[in-house]
Amino acid sequence: MIDRDFHLRDHDLYRYIFDMAVQIPTGMVSTYGTMARSLGDQAASRAVGMMLAADHARPFKVPCHRVIYSDGRTGWYTGAGKGEERKRELLLSEGVPISDGRVLDLERTVFKDFRVDPILTRMADSQRELAPLVSEHGDAMRFERIAGLDVSYDGDRAFSAMVTVNRDGKVLEEKTARCQVNFPYVPGYLGFREMRPYSSLLNKARQDTLYLIDGHGRAHPRRAGIACQFGVVHGIAVGGVAKSVLTGSMETGSLYIENEEVGRVIKDGQGRERFISVGNRVDLTSLCSLVSSISHNPTTLAHDLCTRYRKGRS
């Protein structure tokens, strides 16, 4: 039994980072990588830097100047390419040793003892728990209703769209929604950023509809990308239709991870290259056949719709 609420919750990663930053003592620094590892995954290092630099509401004063690069470079302050001198001035005033733009004696100066919930570890574990629940059986060609879903962002505001078509590509239904998302993109954890925007499009999940998500399913390091999360949590048939590879290696049109075929590259009905992987309750061969046979890829239609919606609402 999976924890549905955990997959659908708005996990505020900003608050995690802000809470960690205030733990860094005066006279010490930490690094983006150290903070990411404390959360559970080094892959979040870039996201840590982006969150500290973001124009995002802060419930208290955050000493983001105390977070530096792992090689000792102090880096920017108040945005990309800005405030390097001001950051060094602040650190020097707090007693941090700096020479030639780098913090000295990192072994002594870098703070590592954060008191924090390793949320990314828990997320990765939840994906591993979900992966065995994915069904890779079911004929995608039996569906007469195919819904494409995509999401577009303006900062941390998500604008999602769903376009449902029939097998001839005729549009049957369009729907849009928006919500605040406080979880930035971290490689391997896209599902926790996009489950809420996608789920807000469902009044009730339909068993007579195949849902196509702009993202990966089985073609994921833990075999549980956003298409799998969406499919298992809602108990529906889902396919992943991605524009690029997240992980694995391509061999003669198939995508492999550890010698397991987890996806294929095809051309959709409009001639665009797409990476297809199972999300839930369909098999890979019939899913590829369906996506390539529809004259208008509904995920492309959803992309166009949510872009228009975002521009009209921003």
Same domain, 43 and 185: no
**197 token code pair:** 């925007």
Q: How far apart are CA 127 and CA 99, in angstroms?
A: 44
Q: What is the mean pLDDT of residues 139-160?
A: 96
For residue range 26-56, what is the model confidence (pLDDT) as tens digits?
Answer: 999 999 999 999 999 999 999 999 999 888 8
Q: How far apart are CA 235 and CA 252, in angstroms?
A: 32
Q: Which one-letter amino acid corresponds to residue 201?
A: L
In CATH, what number is assigned to the domain containing residue 108?
1.10.10.10
Same domain, 151 and 76: no
Please tell me the predicted confidence (pLDDT) of residue 205.
Answer: 86
Please tell me the predicted confidence (pLDDT) of residue 80.
Answer: 66
Same domain, 146 and 41: no
Q: Does residue 22 sit within a domain?
A: yes
Q: Contact, 60 vs 22, CB < 8 A? A: yes
Same domain, 196 and 286: yes
pTM > 0.85: yes or no: yes
Same domain, 112 and 160: no
Under the phi-then-psi rule, with left for phi > 0, alpha for psi from -120 to 50, and beta for the rest, what region is 242?
Answer: beta
Out of 64, 228, 288, 306, the active site residue is 64
Question: What integer best gives the mean pLDDT of the chain?
Answer: 95
Q: DSSP for the chain? A: ---HHHHHS---HHHHHHHHHTTSPTT-BEEHHHHHHHHT-GGGHHHHHHHHHS----SS---GGGEE-TTSB---SSSTT--HHHHHHHHHHTT--EETTEES-HHHHB--------HHHHHHHHHHHHGGG----S-GGG-SEEEEEEEEEETTEEEEEEEEE-TT--EEEEEEEEEE------TT-HHHHHHHHHHTT-SS--TTEEEEESS-SSSSTTS--HHHHHHHHHT-EEEEEESS-SSSEEETTEEEETTEEEEEEEE-TTS-EEEEEEEESS-HHHHHHHHHH-SS-HHHHHHHHHHHHHHHH-
The length of the chain is: 314
Q: Does residue 122 sit within a domain?
A: no
Is 302's pLDDT higher than 60? yes
Task: Name the packing angle between helices 45-53 and 32-39 (round to 10°).
Answer: 110
In CATH, what number is assigned to the domain containing residue 211?
3.30.2170.10
Please tell me the predicted confidence (pLDDT) of residue 81.
Answer: 66
Same domain, 87 and 197: no
Q: How far is CA 54 from the centre of its chain?
A: 17
Same domain, 58 and 154: no
Q: Contact, 161 vs 174, CB < 8 A? A: yes
Q: Does residue 27 sit within a domain?
A: yes
Please tell me the predicted confidence (pLDDT) of residue 241.
Answer: 97
Last residue within a domain, chosen from 62, 91, 117 = 117
Same domain, 113 and 136: no
Same domain, 267 and 178: yes
Considering its fold, how many domains does the chain have in total?
2
Q: Contact, 309 vs 161, CB < 8 A? A: yes
Please tell me the predicted confidence (pLDDT) of residue 255.
Answer: 96
Q: Does residue 123 sit within a domain?
A: no
Same domain, 72 and 170: no
Q: Is 64 a catalytic residue?
A: yes
For residue range 63-97, what is the model confidence (pLDDT) as tens digits?
Answer: 999 999 999 999 988 666 677 899 999 999 999 99
Owning domain of residue 12 = 4-117
Last residue within a domain, chosen from 94, 117, 140 = 117
Q: Does residue 97 sit within a domain?
A: yes
For residue range 101-120, what is the model confidence (pLDDT) as tens digits?
Answer: 999 999 999 999 999 999 99
Last residue within a domain, chosen from 96, 117, 138 = 117
Q: Residue 195: pLDDT band by 50, 70, 90 thresholds?
A: very high
Q: Does residue 16 sit within a domain?
A: yes
Q: Tell which wins on pLDDT, 174 or 2.
A: 174
For residue range 237-272, what is the model confidence (pLDDT) as tens digits?
Answer: 999 999 999 999 999 999 999 999 999 999 988 889
Same domain, 59 and 159: no
Q: Does residue 264 sit within a domain?
A: yes
Q: Which one-letter amino acid corresponds to residue 85?
A: E
Same domain, 17 and 151: no
Please tell me the predicted confidence (pLDDT) of residue 77.
Answer: 82
Q: Does residue 159 sit within a domain?
A: yes
Place of tokens 């073609």: 219
Q: How far apart are CA 272 and CA 274, in angstroms?
A: 6
**205 token code pair:** 């999940």
Please tell me the predicted confidence (pLDDT) of residue 295.
Answer: 87
SS (HEC) of 282-308:
CCHHHHHHHHHHCCCCHHHHHHHHHHH
